[in-house]
C-alpha cells in the first residue's frame, strides 16, 4: 500500500523537497563543465513557471517541449508542472510534419524550443491555431521570444499550484507505429506510486549516485530514472545535448564517474563492439538498467564478462508510467525480464483477460496505481487497452515456475527496433513507392547479437535487376522516406512472394524461411 496525499505536486516532491532536506547546495545536474545545485534548479524552474503564467498558461494547459538534454529541459519540465500545467515533451530531431501534428494534437499555447530544433519547426509554426508563443532557447528570431530573456526578467519566487494527486501532470507519447502517436494522460499519483515501488524498492538510488542516460530525456524511461526518481532520492544526473554514441557514453561515464547507466540493448551491443571497449573505465558504475527491447542472454553475458557491471533488464510502458517488471540485484536471470515490481499484479491471459493455465503463453495484463487515465482523443483505443483496473499490454509473455517473466514478442506483427515499435506495413508501403519494387514484405530477423531488425523480401519489376546495388538503393530510399531506424537491414530478392489461400502474403512462410536460413548459418 502506497500512501499518497490527495493534495500533492510531483515537482514539489521530487525537486523542491530537497531544500527541506538540506540538499540545496548539493549538485543536482552535471552539464558540460558546469554544475547546478538543487537550490539553483528550484529557482530556475520557478522562473520558468512564472514566465509561462505571464504568457497566459493556466492550470491543465499543455506546454510542448522540444528541447535537447540540458538544464533548460529540467527547469522547463518542472516549471510547467509546478504551475499545474501539463508537460508534453517530444524528440528534438523530428520532421516538420511531426511537429505540426504535435502542436495541433496537444493544443499547446506555448512551445519551448531548442534553437537547434527550430529550423525543422519554423515552416509549421503557423499551422496550429492554438499556439500563441514560441519560446526559443539559445537564439530567438524576430517572431519568437527569448527563453534567456524571459528567465532573466522573471521572479524566482513561485507558489506551487494546489494540484490534486489525480490531476494530469504530464503526457507520455506512444511510439505511433500503427498510426500517429497518442498521448497517455498521467497524473501526479501515477508517478509517485511508481517511484515508491520501482524507484525506491528496486533501484534504491541514493544521494551519492550520478545517473547517466543513453536515451534522451523526452523518453520517459530515461527522464524518470534520472531527473525524477534520481532527484527524489537526492542524486545527481549528468546530461549532454548531442546525439548518443558508444564512444560518447564511455567518455561521459569516465568524466562524471557515473554510478548508474540507463541503457538499451542496441547501445549495449555498440559499446561492447567498440574497438577499444575493454580498455575503457566503467569501474564507477554500480549497475545499468536495460529496457526498450529484448536483451538477449548472449549480449548480457558478453557485457558482464567484459565490464563486470550488472544489468537490470526490465520492461515498462507509457500506459503504466514506467517499469513494472524487472530483474533485481542478486537474483538476475539472464534473458528474462525479471520479477514483478512490488505493488503490481500480473496475469498471463487471453485477449479478453481470462487467465490462462500456469506455464501457458499469452498476453501480459498488469494492474497497479501507476496506470494512466487513457489515451487523449482515442476512445476506442483506450477501451481496448485500459480494462478497468487491468491494462492489456499487448505483449506476449510466459511466466516460469520461479516467477520470472519472459518476453515472446507483440501480440500483433509489430517489431521493436532500438527500443521503438516499428510496423512492417509502414516499411512495406514505403518500399512499394520505389519504381523498382513490385511486391514487398517485411518481417523481423535477428542480427548476429540477437537483436531484432527489419528484413525485407522484395519482388522487382520487369526490366529491373536485383542484387546488392539495388538492395543498397532500397535501404537508402527507406531512410530518406521514414525515420532512419526503420530501414531494412537486409533486402532479399525473390521471384515471387508466398501467398495464402486468400491471396495475401504468407508471412508465416517467410518467417519459417528465415528460421531455416538462421539454422543453416549455425
Q: The dihedral of CA 235, 240, 241, 242: what is its sign?
A: negative
d(CA 54, CA 76): 15
What is the per-residue pLDDT across 97-154, written as a single tens digit (0 to 9) for each? 999 999 999 999 999 999 999 999 999 999 999 999 999 999 877 789 999 999 999 9
Cα 154 from chain centroid (whole Å): 32
Residue 159: count of CB within 10 angstroms of its CB: 9
> What pLDDT, on a 0 to 100 scale, did the predictor assign at position 45?
98
Ranges of each domain in the chain: 1-165, 186-411, 423-521
The pLDDT of residue 448 is 86
The list of the chain residues with pLDDT below 70 reads 1, 176-179, 409-414, 421, 423, 499-504, 515-522
Read off the pTM.
0.81
- Per the DSSP assignment, residues forming a β-bridge with 417 are 420
Residue 4: the pLDDT is: 93
Contacts of 241 (CB under 8 A, 6+ apart): 68, 69, 70, 116
Q: Do domains 186-411 and 423-521 have the same CATH topology?
A: no
Beta-carbon contacts of 52 under 8 Å, excluding residues fewer than 6 positions away, are: 63, 79, 80, 83, 85, 110
CATH superfamily of 186-411: ANL, N-terminal domain (3.40.50.12780)
3-state secondary structure of 110: strand
**What pLDDT does 54 receive?**
98
Architecture of domain 423-521: 2-Layer Sandwich (3.30)
> May I ask the CATH architecture of the domain 1-165?
3-Layer(aba) Sandwich (3.40)
- The contacts of residue 131 (CB under 8 Å, 6+ apart) are 103, 108, 109, 110, 111, 125
| Res 501: pLDDT | 36
Amino acid at each position: 500500500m502506497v500512501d499518497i496525499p490527495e493534495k500533492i505536486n510531483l515537482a514539489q516532491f521530487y525537486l523542491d523537497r530537497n531544500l527541506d532536506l538540506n540538499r540545496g547546495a548539493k549538485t543536482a545536474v552535471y552539464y558540460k563543465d558546469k554544475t547546478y545545485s538543487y537550490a539553483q534548479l528550484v529557482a530556475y524552474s520557478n522562473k520558468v513557471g512564472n514566465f509561462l503564467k505571464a504568457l497566459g498558461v493556466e492550470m491543465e494547459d499543455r506546454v510542448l517541449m522540444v528541447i535537447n538534454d540540458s538544464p533548460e529541459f529540467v527547469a522547463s519540465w518542472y516549471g510547467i508542472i509546478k504551475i499545474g500545467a501539463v508537460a508534453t515533451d517530444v524528440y528534438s530531431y523530428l520532421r516538420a510534419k511531426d511537429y505540426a501534428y504535435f502542436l495541433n494534437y496537444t493544443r499547446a499555447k506555448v512551445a519551448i524550443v531548442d534553437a537547434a530544433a527550430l529550423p525543422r519547426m519554423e515552416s509549421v509554426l503557423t499551422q496550429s491555431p492554438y499556439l500563441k508563443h514560441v519560446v526559443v532557447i539559445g537564439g530567438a528570431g524576430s517572431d519568437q521570444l527569448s527563453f534567456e530573456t524571459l528567465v532573466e526578467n522573471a521572479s524566482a519566487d513561485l507558489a506551487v499550484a494546489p494540484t490534486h494527486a489525480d490531476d494530469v501532470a504530464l503526457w507520455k507519447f506512444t511510439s505511433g507505429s500503427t498510426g500517429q502517436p497518442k498521448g497517455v494522460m498521467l497524473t501526479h499519483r501515477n508517478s509517485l506510486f511508481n517511484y515508491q515501488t520501482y524507484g525506491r524498492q528496486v533501484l534504491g538510488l541514493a544521494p551519492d549516485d550520478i545517473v547517466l542516460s543513453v536515451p534522451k530525456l523526452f523518453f520517459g524511461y530515461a527522464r524518470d530514472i534520472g531527473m525524477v526518481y534520481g532527484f527524489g532520492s537526492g542524486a545527481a544526473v549528468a546530461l549532454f545535448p548531442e546525439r548518443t554514441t558508444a564512444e560518447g557514453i564511455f567518455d561521459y561515464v569516465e568524466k562524471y564517474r557515473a554510478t548508474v547507466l540507463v541503457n538499451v540493448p542496441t547501445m549495449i551491443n555498440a559499446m561492447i563492439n567498440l574497438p577499444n571497449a575493454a580498455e575503457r573505465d566503467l569501474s564507477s558504475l554500480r549497475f545499468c538498467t536495460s529496457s526498450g527491447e529484448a536483451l538477449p542472454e548472449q549480449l548480457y553475458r558478453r557485457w558482464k564478462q567484459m565490464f563486470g557491471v550488472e544489468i537490470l533488464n526490465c520492461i515498462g510502458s507509457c500506459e503504466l508510467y514506467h517499469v513494472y517488471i524487472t530483474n533485481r540485484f542478486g537474483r538476475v536471470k539472464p534473458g528474462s525480464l525479471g520479477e514483478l515490481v512490488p505493488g503490481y499484479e500480473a496475469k498471463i491471459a487471453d485477449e479478453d483477460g481470462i487467465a490462462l493455465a500456469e506455464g501457458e503463453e499469452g498476453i501480459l495484463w498488469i494492474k497497479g496505481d501507476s496506470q494512466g487515465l487513457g489515451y487523449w482523443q482515442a476512445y476506442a483505443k483506450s477501451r481496448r487497452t485500459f480494462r478497468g483496473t487491468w491494462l492489456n499490454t499487448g505483449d506476449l509473455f510466459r511466466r516460469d515456475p520461479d516467477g520470472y517473466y519472459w518476453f515472446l514478442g507483440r501480440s500483433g506483427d509489430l517489431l521493436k527496433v532500438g527500443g521503438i515499435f516499428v510496423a512492417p506495413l509502414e516499411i512495406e508501403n514505403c518500399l512499394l513507392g520505389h519504381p523498382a519494387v513490385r511486391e514487398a514484405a517485411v518481417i523481423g530477423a535477428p542480427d548476429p547479437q540477437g537483436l531484432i531488425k527489419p528484413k525485407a523480401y522484395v519482388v522487382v519489376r520487369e526490366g529491373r535487376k536485383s542484387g546488392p546495388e539495388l538492395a543498397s538503393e532500397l535501404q537508402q530510399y527507406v531512410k530518406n522516406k521514414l525515420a532512419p531506424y526503420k530501414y531494412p537491414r537486409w533486402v532479399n530478392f525473390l521471384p515471387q512472394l508466398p501467398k495464402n489461400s486468400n491471396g495475401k502474403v504468407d508471412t508465416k512462410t517467410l518467417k519459417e524461411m528465415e528460421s531455416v536460413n538462421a539454422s543453416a548459418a549455425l
